[in-house]
């Protein structure tokens, strides 16, 4: 009997360890209207009562249940947040919510009061930018601490561009700064000129309105990539992509420039670790350092996140590029799709869902 009890205990213990090590969630509503999450090959129930709404990232989901309570699900447990009416935002790792003027946040199981005089706020993967009207300050939460970026003498304003782990803002003298990795770097002073900052992760791109040169802030350093005007630019995770005046598409990362296309393209886009573009009638992706031909047509719709491209294929179904390989996920037409971590969620018209993970399809 002791041996049997120990075996049962060991099985439960190993199951608990596996649950703790499990990372990533895929939240959705199933055909019973239950709020569930795909984890470890199974769809696990989060709530069996109807919910009002939810917002989710790769690691957490926040939702309002049928009684109006705000809760968090972190892949292991449901956490009660508040029973009051709130405004909330979620990223892949962080959640912030405002009750009246009180701004609170959740990070890795810990709740923190940001300010009792909050107004606008933005939540990204590794930081939260918010207004504190008591001190007329624009503040940032990063690495478990709060720091003031700037105090505005003529009234606080959320006049900032926010990326996944960096912020661009300006002070009272119209001098622009970038906050990255706990440090502030001066960009330059511009008066009435409008600057377009494209922010990603660890990098950002902008054009100097005086010289028309194209600059990249790359992990603490400013690099002039082009001394001539360019058309368009976007930032991803550690890289930027830009289109020059001749229609050539360039990829810049770690000091190296790579030509993606020398055809003027009517469509190109960047998100996280992947870039896509049209070249004549062909649809391409740049992923894992490789150029991949995706399709011989322009997709009706597509979604980029992490290192994944999901798109509606020519027959109306859903296909995806995952780690450079093309997969057909469903032939159902009008299916919706989302990306969580390294998983693709496809919501079928018959109220069921499938998840593509590690080369396999899982259905609920």
Please state whether beta strands 35-39 and 198-199 pair in parallel, antiparallel, or not at all (unpaired).
unpaired
CA atoms of 320 and 310, how far apart (whole Å): 4
d(CA 320, CA 309): 5
Q: Identify the band that residue 9 occupies on the pLDDT scale cut at 50, 70 and 90.
A: very low
Instruction: Please check the confidence at residue 15 and state whether its pLDDT lies above 50.
Output: no
What is the reported pLDDT for 212? 93
Question: What pLDDT, in 10s, does the model give residues 169-203?
Answer: 999 899 999 999 999 999 999 988 889 999 999 99
Angle at 208 between CA 204 and CA 214, to 5 degrees: 55
- In the prediction, which pLDDT does 158 show? 75
Q: What is the DSSP letter of 2?
A: H
Mean pLDDT of 249-265: 93
Average pLDDT in the 142-154 region?
91
Tell me, what's the pLDDT at 153? Answer: 74
| Residue pair 162/129 in contact by the 8 Å Cβ criterion | yes
Segment 311-324 mean pLDDT: 96
Q: How does DSSP classify residue 68? A: S
Q: CA-CA distance, 350 to 225, in Å (whole number)? A: 50
* pLDDT at residue 257 greater than cutoff 80: yes
281-290 pLDDT, tens digit per residue, is: 999 999 999 9
Tell which residue, 87, 85, 23, has the closest CA to residue 55. 87
Contact 136, 151 (CB under 8 A): yes
**What is the model's pLDDT at position 247?**
93
Predicted pLDDT of residue 7: 36
Contact predicate 267/279, CB 8 Å: no
Following DSSP, what letter does each residue of 203-223 receive, concatenated?
EEEEE-TTT--EEEEETTEEE
Tokens describing residue 251: 């990829």
pLDDT score of 76 = 94
Residue with more model confidence, 193 or 132: 132
Q: Indicate the burial class of 95 (C-beta count within 10 angstroms; 0-12, 13-18, 19 or more).
A: buried
pLDDT at 3 over 70: no
The radius of gyration of the chain from alpha carbons, rounded to an integer in Å, stands at: 23
The alpha carbon of residue 99 and the mean position of all alpha carbons in its chain are separated, in whole angstroms, by 24
At 23-64, the pLDDT tens digits run 699 999 999 999 999 998 999 999 999 999 999 999 999 999
Upper half-sphere CA count for residue 64 (Cβ side, 13 Å): 12
Of 38, 12, 80, the closest CA to residue 364 belongs to 38
- Stretch 273-283: mean pLDDT, rounded? 95
Using the structure block, give the residue that is written with the tokens 């670790």: 273
Residue 272 · residue 263 · CB < 8 Å:
no
Percent of the chain with pLDDT over 70: 93
- Residues 258/288, Cβ–Cβ less than 8 Å: no
What are the strands of the beta sheet with 27-29, ordered from one edge? 27-29, 35-39, 42-47
Distances (CA, A) of 230 to 45, 191, 203, 233: 50, 22, 18, 8
According to DSSP, the β-strands at 183-189 and 175-180 are: antiparallel
Is residue 117 a contact partner of residue 101, using CB atoms and an 8 Å limit? yes
List, in order, residues 6 or more apart from 358 with CB less than 8 Å away: 342
Distance, CA of 246 to CA of 41 (rounded, Å): 48
The residue that leads in pLDDT, 104 or 158, is 104
| Residue 1 pLDDT exceeds 80 | no
Q: Regarding predicted confidence, which is higher, 109 or 157?
A: 109
Percent of the chain with pLDDT over 90: 85
Which pLDDT score, from 0 to 100, does residue 191 have? 85
SS3 20: helix
Q: Is residue 321 pLDDT above 80, yes or no?
A: yes
Please choose, from the candidates 278, 194, 198, 201, the residue with its C-alpha nearest in 3D space to the C-alpha of residue 232: 198
- Is the model's pLDDT at 4 over the cut of 60? no
């Amino acid at each position: 009997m002791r041996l049997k009890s120990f075996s049962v205990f060991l099985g439960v213990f190993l199951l608990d360890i596996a649950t703790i090590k499990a990372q990533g969630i895929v939240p959705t509503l199933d055909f019973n209207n239950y709020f569930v999450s795909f984890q470890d090959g199974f769809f696990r129930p989060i709530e069996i009562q109807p919910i009002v709404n939810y917002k989710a990232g790769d690691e957490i989901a926040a939702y309002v249940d049928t009684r109006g309570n705000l809760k968090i699900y972190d892949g292991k447990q449901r956490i009660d947040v508040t029973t009051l009416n709130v405004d909330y935002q979620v990223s892949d790792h962080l959640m912030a919510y405002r009750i009246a003027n009180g701004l609170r946040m959740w990070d890795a199981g810990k709740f923190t009061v940001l300010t009792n005089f909050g107004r606008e706020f933005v939540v990204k993967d590794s930081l939260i930018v918010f207004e504190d009207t008591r001190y007329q300050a624009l503040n940032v939460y990063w690495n478990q601490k709060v720091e003031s970026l700037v105090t505005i003498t003529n009234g606080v304003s959320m006049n900032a561009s926010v990326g996944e782990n960096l912020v661009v803002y300006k002070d009272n003298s119209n001098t622009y700064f970038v906050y990255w990795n706990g440090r502030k770097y001066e960009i330059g002073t511009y008066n009435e000129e409008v600057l377009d900052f494209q922010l990603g992760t660890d990098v950002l791109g902008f054009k100097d309105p005086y010289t028309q040169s194209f600059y990249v802030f790359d992990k603490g350093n400013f690099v002039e990539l082009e001394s001539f005007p360019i058309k368009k630019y976007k930032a991803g995770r550690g890289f930027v992509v830009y289109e020059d005046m001749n229609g050539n598409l360039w990829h810049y990362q770690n000091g190296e420039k790579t030509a993606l296309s020398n055809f003027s393209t009517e469509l190109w886009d960047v998100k996280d670790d992947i870039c896509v573009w049209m070249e004549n009638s062909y649809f391409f992706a740049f992923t894992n350092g490789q150029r991949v031909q995706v399709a011989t047509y322009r997709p009706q719709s597509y979604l980029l996140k992490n290192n994944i491209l999901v798109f509606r294929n020519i027959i109306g179904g859903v296909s995806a590029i995952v780690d450079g390989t093309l997969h057909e996920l469903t032939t159902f037409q009008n299916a919706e799709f989302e990306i969580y971590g390294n998983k693709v969620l496809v919501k079928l018209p018959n109220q069921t869902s499938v998840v593509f993970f590690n080369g396999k399809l899982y259905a609920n």
